[in-house]
């Protein structure tokens, strides 16, 4: 479960374009209660996940699918006897498959990705009612995570952004132990604040099995999403159609990208 503890007031004072982080999140088939046509079922039996169906030209029926992070479209012939995997083009050379993949594969995977991030083990950094939430994979030994922490302070301290640090241990031998120590602290948010803001660096220490499992499952999620560097941050954005999508930033963002992540420049 998430650790929802507010940061103390200072002094009292993830070519992406709409893809889920990597599309590797285990998903529940939308067809669990509906029988797939036999040729499509034969493909699903090979480990392909079917996400949704759509109308296709010439009497065909399309299915959005994915396997191991790779998207695909399956086209069922009008007689229902054969399935074709590939890209459908019209006489003008227009790719008719790409928009369907975006709607029927990427969007559902993004929803599942966001849910997986919500259900991970994170430490809250910012006000509980901040209008913008950003998930960021953080390693206690990562200097770039520290840099991103510093960059984000104006928005966090203004109450505009809540960062949710998904603690992972990937960089050094003691990184898993440090992640567990932060997650297992009496006040995880204050411990992370002290580590990142006050220079009171956390030390790896033995933690109850449940806490060590939290750090381990965070590492698993990091790997399942196909990530390889910290910090990697994920946030929601609205596309031109008004649909909420997920975007990500890997590493330390430049100023323009930072402001985009944070929802705009501070006034």
Ranges of the chain with pLDDT below 50: 1-29, 31, 33
Q: Where are the beta strands (DSSP E) in 27-112?
A: 49-55, 61-67, 70-76, 83-85
Do the beta carbons of residue 65 and residue 48 sit within 8 Å?
yes
The pTM assigned to this predicted structure is 0.78
- For residue 67, what pLDDT is reported? 86
Q: Residue 199 is part of which domain span? A: 120-261
* 239 occurs within a structural domain: yes
Final residue belonging to a domain, choices 77, 108, 139: 108
* 33 occurs within a structural domain: no
- For residue 26, what pLDDT is reported? 39
- For residue 78, what pLDDT is reported? 95
Residues 100 and 224 in one domain: no
**Which CATH number goes with the domain that contains 152?**
3.40.30.10
Q: How many domains does the chain have?
A: 2
* 43 occurs within a structural domain: yes
85-116: b or e for each residue (b if 16 or more CB lie within 10 Å)? eeebeeeeeeeebeebbbbbbbbbbbbbbbeb
């Amino acid at each position: 479960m998430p650790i929802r503890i507010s940061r103390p007031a200072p002094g009292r004072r993830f070519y992406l374009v709409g893809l889920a982080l990597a599309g590797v999140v285990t998903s529940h088939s939308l067809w669990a209660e509906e029988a797939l046509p036999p040729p499509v079922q034969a493909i699903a039996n090979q480990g392909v996940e079917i996400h949704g169906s759509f109308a296709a030209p010439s009497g065909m029926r399309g299915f959005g699918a994915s396997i191991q992070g790779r998207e695909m479209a399956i086209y069922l012939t009008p007689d229902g006897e054969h399935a074709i995997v590939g890209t459908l083009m019209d006489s003008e050379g227009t790719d008719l498959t790409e928009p369907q993949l975006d709607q029927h594969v990427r969007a559902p995977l993004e929803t599942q990705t966001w849910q997986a991030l919500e259900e991970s083990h994170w430490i809250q950094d910012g006000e509980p009612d901040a209008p913008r939430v950003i998930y960021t994979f953080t390693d206690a030994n990562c200097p770039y995570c520290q840099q991103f922490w510093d960059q984000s302070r104006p928005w966090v301290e203004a109450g505009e952004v809540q960062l949710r640090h998904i603690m992972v241990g990937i960089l050094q031998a003691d990184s898993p132990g440090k992640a567990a120590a932060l997650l297992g602290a009496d006040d995880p948010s204050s411990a992370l604040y002290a580590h990142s803001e006050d220079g009171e660096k956390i030390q790896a220490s033995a933690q109850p099995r449940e806490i060590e499992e939290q750090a381990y499952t965070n590492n698993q999620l990091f790997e399942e999403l196909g990530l390889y560097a910290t910090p990697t941050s994920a946030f929601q954005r609205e596309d031109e159609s008004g649909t909420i999508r997920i975007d990500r930033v890997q590493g330390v963002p430049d100023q323009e990208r930072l402001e985009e992540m944070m929802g705009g420049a501070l006034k």
